[in-house]
């Protein structure tokens, strides 16, 4: 664990208490069973907003606390542990795009609502099943945006889209004429929607430099990695507890060296994952070049999260295969996050290119 300030420790502890008391995995199970398309419980997101979480990366002048990415990452990690569903990450990413690239008027118009949790906002970037920010075709002409975005997270309930077009990022209100959405039901049961824009009113984010989209995607990668860190850590703890109580061949499974060594390797892997994720969050807070730190965070999260979620099912044996048990939630959500914002192969390629080979 990175060295935290007193305020960050308090925030982390508050998030930990809240998730374990108010939002255990069973809470997600109820949302999953309700299957209403929004993919989260609006009253629960209201509670998060009350605690100030939706404004953590929003500047104070616009209703947030500007408490930084490491702080937001701590909360997202805790939510990941209990697979708590919320549009917190998506809204924070949209807010960061506006904070980085928006005019004062745009910030004034949208950020306070995002910070208070009244508006769910989200990024709409990819146009196909694989993350590919170099292949964006959506375009804007005369202030009207046209194009289609695939698998937009929280796309079913978003009141604001930050849309990547060929020449930059644009704000499109969720209720604007020409916006239509259809649900894409994925294995994680969270909200993903295909969103079409047919000459919808679009307002450009003109600031933030040439690579505004790149900066926002780095933040997206690191936040996804933070959620995966929470999930992997919890998957590990749950599996360890299971091995310590499950008896086979007259012995507790935890006494078998073959299983001890697998767990020791997973534990070590998760330590590396944690270092990479915390370094990614710290890199954003420090305001420098975030590209490589973000790739490192997401790639380690992809690799270790992938392995840990598989091992969780395997080491639980038959019970891990049942819907009644929680292991499946971690496996199914992990793969969605793994595919979002760059899979391992794509990010390795990008890392090599950034390093000149």
Measured in whole angstroms, the distance separating CA 156 from the mean position of its chain's CA atoms is 16
| From candidates 35, 143, 244, 317, binder to other proteins by CB under 8 A | 244
Q: Does 352 bind other proteins (CB under 8 A)?
A: yes
Q: Which residues pair with 165 in a beta bridge?
A: 168
Asked if 279 interacts with other proteins (CB under 8 A), we say: yes
Q: How far is the CB of 177 from other proteins (least distance, A)?
A: 45
Size of the site for other proteins (CB under 8 A): 43
3-state DSSP: the chain helix, strand, coil percent, rounded to 5? Answer: 60, 15, 30
CB of residue 5 to other proteins, shortest distance in Å = 5
When asked if residue 150 is in the footprint of other proteins (CB under 8 A), the reply is: no
CB atoms within 10 A of CB 308: 25
Query: What is the side-by-side order of every strand in the sheet holding 139-141?
Result: 139-141, 144-153, 192-201, 179-183
- Interface with other proteins, residue 289, by CB under 8 A: no
Using CB under 8 A as the criterion, what x/- string covers residues 59-78 for binding other proteins?
---------x----------
Site for other proteins in 320-339 (CB under 8 A): none
3-state secondary structure of 126: coil
Dist CA 297 CA 337 (whole Å):
13
Is the distance from CB of 69 to CB of 89 less than 8 angstroms?
A: no
* Nearest residue to 319 via CA among 233, 263, 246, 262: 246
If binding is defined by CB under 8 A, does position 246 make contact with other proteins? no
Using alpha carbons, select from 112, 102, 96 the residue that is nearest to residue 171: 102
Q: Which of 187, 265, 314, 322 binds other proteins (CB under 8 A)?
A: 265
Smaller CB distance to other proteins: residue 116 or 275?
A: 275
Looking at 150-158, 169-177, 250-258, 311-319, which segment touches other proteins (CB under 8 A)? 250-258
Q: Is residue 257 close enough to count as binding other proteins by CB under 8 A? A: yes
Tokens 């004429």, residue? 177
Taking the complex as a whole, how short is the minimal distance between the CB of residue 271 and other proteins, in angstroms?
A: 6
Distance CA 56, CA 67 (A): 5
Binding residues for other proteins, rule: CB under 8 A, are: 1-3, 5, 68, 240, 243-244, 251-252, 254-257, 259-261, 263-265, 267-268, 271-276, 278-279, 295-296, 299-300, 345, 348-349, 351-353, 355-357
């Amino acid at each position: 664990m990175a060295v935290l300030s007193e305020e960050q420790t308090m925030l982390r502890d508050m998030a930990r208490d809240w998730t374990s008391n108010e939002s255990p995995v069973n809470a997600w199970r109820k949302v999953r069973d309700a299957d209403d398309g929004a993919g989260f419980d609006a009253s629960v997101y209201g509670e998060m907003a009350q605690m100030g979480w939706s404004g953590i990366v929003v500047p104070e002048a616009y209703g947030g606390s500007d408490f930084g990415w490491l702080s937001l990452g701590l909360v997202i990690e805790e939510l990941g542990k209990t697979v708590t569903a919320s549009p917190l990450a998506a809204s924070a990413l949209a807010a960061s795009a506006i904070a980085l690239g928006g005019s004062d008027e745009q910030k004034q118009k949208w950020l306070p609502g995002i910070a208070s949790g009244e508006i769910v906002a989200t990024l709409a970037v990819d146009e196909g099943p694989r993350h590919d920010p170099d292949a964006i075709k959506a375009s804007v002409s005369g202030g009207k945006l046209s194009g289609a975005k695939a698998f937009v997270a929280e796309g079913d309930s978003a009141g604001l889209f930050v849309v990547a077009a060929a020449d930059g990022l644009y704000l499109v209100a969720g209720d604007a004429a020409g916006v239509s959405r259809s649900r894409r039901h994925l294995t994680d049961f969270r909200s993903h929607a295909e969103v079409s824009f047919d000459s919808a009113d679009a307002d450009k984010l003109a600031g933030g430099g040439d690579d505004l989209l790149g900066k926002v995607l780095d933040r997206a990668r690191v936040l996804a990695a933070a959620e995966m860190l929470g999930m992997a850590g919890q998957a590990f703890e749950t599996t360890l507890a299971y091995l310590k109580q499950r008896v086979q061949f007259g012995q507790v499974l935890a006494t078998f060296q073959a299983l001890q060594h697998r767990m020791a390797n997973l534990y070590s892997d998760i330590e590396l994952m944690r270092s990479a994720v915390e370094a990614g969050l710290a890199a954003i807070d420090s305001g420098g070049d975030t590209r490589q730190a973000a790739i490192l965070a997401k790639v380690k999260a992809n690799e270790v999260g992938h392995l840990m979620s598989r091992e969780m099912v395997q080491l639980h044996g038959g019970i891990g295969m049942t819907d009644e048990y929680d292991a499946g939630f971690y496996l199914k959500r992990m793969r969605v996050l793994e595919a979002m914002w760059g899979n391992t192969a794509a990010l390795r390629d990008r890392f090599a290119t950034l390093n000149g080979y």
